[in-house]
Structure 1
Amino acid sequence: MFVPCDGLHPPQLRDYSLILPAVSVGNVGQLAVDLIISTLNMVKVGYIYTDCLVPMAGSDPYAVSIGKSELSINAEVYFLAERKLAVLQIRSPVIKNKSKAFRQMLVSWIKRSEFAQVILLSSSHAYQRDDQQLLGTPFRYLVTPAMQNSVGEALRDLHWKEMETVAAYPGVSESEKRIWIPGGGITKSLYTDSCTEGIHLAVLLKFCSEGDNIPDAFSLVNYLNEWMPLVEHSIGDSTETPAKLKIPNSWRLLFGSGLPPALF
């Protein structure tokens, strides 16, 4: 359930766009959401109280100075009224066997809040691509039937590639097809739930591998920015150039603090 921050009234989110990540390979969706929150200086308005995520608490990842006492937890909601934009950042994985309950909670909150559209940022294992996915762009998208009429043509005009279906039983039967997103966490199941519930949801994902996934996060935000302009571009208004993105201070220690000098 959504709980507003102390002293704040629950924000009215009707007709807002919601962006959220899937906890997936390389944490690309979460890193991309970090970039969006940091770049747009979004304000935290509450958090999602749930027992479906691994508990965690830490310092504010977007603090601009050392010593801020505010803590961050595993699922927080950020807000930008002038853009009619809300962002849910998820910082820990779903507990085993609680994926369905977590999805049901998300779907219920999305429907209750009456979001105009939901964008799920995700990733998938590059090494498990089908043959037809090996060529061309590493990005794919999916939209629910409820959203197809409103954005389907716009996405095709961008020459984006829709996620391909692959054989459900490769080598045995090629007639039965399915959507397969290995390493995508709840991506496919949340998409399926949204199709059933009539939610306007789009999935944007990138094929990638584990490692330094900061470049993948930058490219995924730029991919989103082609369709849903959130951030100004570096040179003029051309979508061919990268967007101006602000890296959170917490990323300085993304791979630890380095080797201690005492070792040498």
Structure 2
Amino acid sequence: MVFFNPTDSSVQLAGKAIIVPVVSTANVSQLAADLLIASLSLGRIGIFDSAFLVPVVGSCEDGVGVSTPLELYGKAGLDIVVVQQRSPALKSQKQQFINTLLEFTQTSGLLLLIILVDEMLNVADIEHQRIKFAQSMAHLCHPHRWPVSPNYPSQSTPRRYPSTPFKTPDEAEPDVPFIPGGSLTRRILQTLSKSPSSVPTAAVLQFVLEGDNRADAALLASVIVAVFGLSISGFKEPRSWKQGLFGAPPDQTLYG
């Protein structure tokens, strides 16, 4: 079984960072991926085998063709590629999906894996920071040391992501804490801690509440924009958000 099927040979994965949203309670990470894809004018460059996920199909953003549960977006000359996952993993396939996805990141020449996820906010968290970094316990990459504009290296400069060596079992940190509403994030980080990845990995977690999370998605996406020094004048919402993200507006005759 081939997990990844490229659809645009002009975009090479080697040397790029991959952004992976985790399907979670408020789906903010998927919305953030939508904003990055639309604002950076990314095109679909590959389709993943979706046998591990809940089956779903829909129209593509431009109305041409169909979208599938797991796709990869990017464009030539950009240092990142963005995964969009539209349905959760099947209960019986969660670990196999994680293993296969991590194997793909390790064998594709990618330099960095960033996981996006939202964590459900509770009363005790209200005074805490809205964004926090939860780093994997394998081959780490520290977000505060990533190169950012204006000192971000040019395309001709070889990229070097700083990393921390994997710790031995005696030196290992405590288990990954529970992440409310974080879906597979904790399991992904636990998997990495048991079998260190050759790709530096970090997870970006954002506290959220359920509801209209468009502003939360923009905040989460802005972290990626800042880290990689991406040039955008503002976030562009995809057309699909206007057509049905929160359903059709209510019939105004209901209000007299």
Q: TM-score normalized by structure 2?
A: 0.79
Contact 2:178 2:186 in 1 (8 A): yes
Confirm or deny that 1:184 pairs with 2:182: yes
Confirm or deny that 1:247 pairs with 2:237: yes
- 1:246 deviates by 0.6
- For 1:227, the equivalent position in structure 2 comes to 227
- For 1:3, the equivalent position in structure 2 comes to 5
1:46/1:183 CA distance change after superposition, 3 Å = same
- For 2:99, the equivalent position in structure 1 comes to 104
- The Cα offsets for residues 198-237 of structure 1, whole Å up to 9 and x where unpaired, read as 23111111111211111110111123333232243x5xxx
- 1:260 deviates by 4.1
> What is the CA–CA distance in structure 1 between the aligned matches of 2:143 and 2:68, rounded to whole Å?
35
- For 1:167, the equivalent position in structure 2 comes to none
- 1:77 deviates by 0.7
Percent same amino acid at aligned positions? 29
1:142/1:91 CA distance change after superposition, 3 Å = same
> What is the CA–CA distance in structure 2 between the aligned matches of 1:92 and 1:152, rounded to whole Å?
28
- For 1:166, the equivalent position in structure 2 comes to none
- For 1:54, the equivalent position in structure 2 comes to 54
Confirm or deny that 1:141 pairs with 2:133: yes
After TM superposition, the structure 1 = structure 2 runs for residues 73-222 of structure 1, keeping only pairs within 5 Å, are 73-127=68-122, 131=124, 133-145=125-137, 147-148=139-140, 150-151=141-142, 154=145, 178-195=176-193, 196-198=195-197, 199-222=199-222
> What is the CA–CA distance in structure 2 between the aligned matches of 1:135 and 1:231, rounded to whole Å?
32
User: Any gaps of 5 or more consecutive residues in structure 2?
Assistant: 147-173
> What is the CA–CA distance in structure 2 between the aligned matches of 1:80 and 1:94, rounded to whole Å?
27
Contact 1:42 1:79 in 2 (8 A): yes
1:259/1:153 CA distance change after superposition, 3 Å = closer
Flag the structure with higher helix content. 1
> What is the CA–CA distance in structure 2 between the aligned matches of 1:219 and 1:121, rounded to whole Å?
12
1:222/1:10 CA distance change after superposition, 3 Å = closer
Contact 1:25 1:208 in 2 (8 A): no
Q: TM-score normalized by structure 1?
A: 0.77
1:262/1:190 CA distance change after superposition, 3 Å = same
1:123/1:116 CA distance change after superposition, 3 Å = same
- For 1:29, the equivalent position in structure 2 comes to 29
Contact 2:56 2:68 in 1 (8 A): yes
1:105/1:251 CA distance change after superposition, 3 Å = same
1:118/1:11 CA distance change after superposition, 3 Å = same
- 1:96 deviates by 1.3
- 1:11 deviates by 4.6
- The Cα offsets for residues 119-141 of structure 1, whole Å up to 9 and x where unpaired, read as 111011102x7x5x443311111
Amino acid corresponding to residue 259 of structure 1 in structure 2: P
- Secondary structure of the residue aligned to 1:26 is coil
> What is the CA–CA distance in structure 2 between the aligned matches of 1:262 and 1:89, rounded to whole Å?
38
- 1:4 deviates by 2.0
- Secondary structure of the residue aligned to 2:91 is coil
- Secondary structure of the residue aligned to 2:142 is helix
1:222/1:20 CA distance change after superposition, 3 Å = same
Aligned residue pairs, count: 224
> What is the CA–CA distance in structure 2 between the aligned matches of 1:106 and 1:121, rounded to whole Å?
15
- The Cα offsets for residues 110-158 of structure 1, whole Å up to 9 and x where unpaired, read as 111021001111011102x7x5x4433111112235553x535527xxx
